[in-house]
Amino acid sequence: MQALAKTVAAPGLELIDAPVPEIGPDDVLIRINRTGICGTDIHIWNWDDWASKTVPVPLITGHEFAGEIVDLGRNVTGYQIGQRCSGEGHLIGHQSRQSRAGKFHLDPETRGIGVNEQGAFAQYLRLPAFNVVPLPDEISDDIGAILDPLGNAVHTALSFDLVGEDVLITGAGPIGIMAAAVARHVGARHVVITDVNQERLDLAARVADVVPVNVAEQNLADVAARLRIRQGFDVGLEMSGNQIAFDQMVESLVMGGRIALLGIPPGKSPVDWSRIVFKALTIKGVYGREIFETWYKMIAMLENGLDISGVITHRFAATDYRAAFEVMKSGQSGKVVLDWTG
The CA radius of gyration of the chain, in Å to the nearest whole number, is 20
Written as one letter, the residue type at 140 is: S
Q: Name the amino acid, one letter, at 269.
A: S
Helix (H), strand (E) at residue 258: strand 253-261
- How many other CB atoms sit within 10 Å of the CB of residue 111? 13
Round to the nearest angstrom and report the end-to-end CA distance of the chain: 12
Q: Is 63 left (phi over 0), alpha (psi -120 to 50) or beta?
A: alpha
Q: Which residues are catalytic?
A: 40, 43
Return the SS3 of 120: coil
* Inter-residue contact 200 to 177 (CB < 8 Å): yes
Alpha-carbon span 323 to 326, nearest angstrom? 5
Alpha helix stretches (DSSP H) within 107-168: 141-144, 147-157
Beta strand 27-36 pairing with 90-91: unpaired
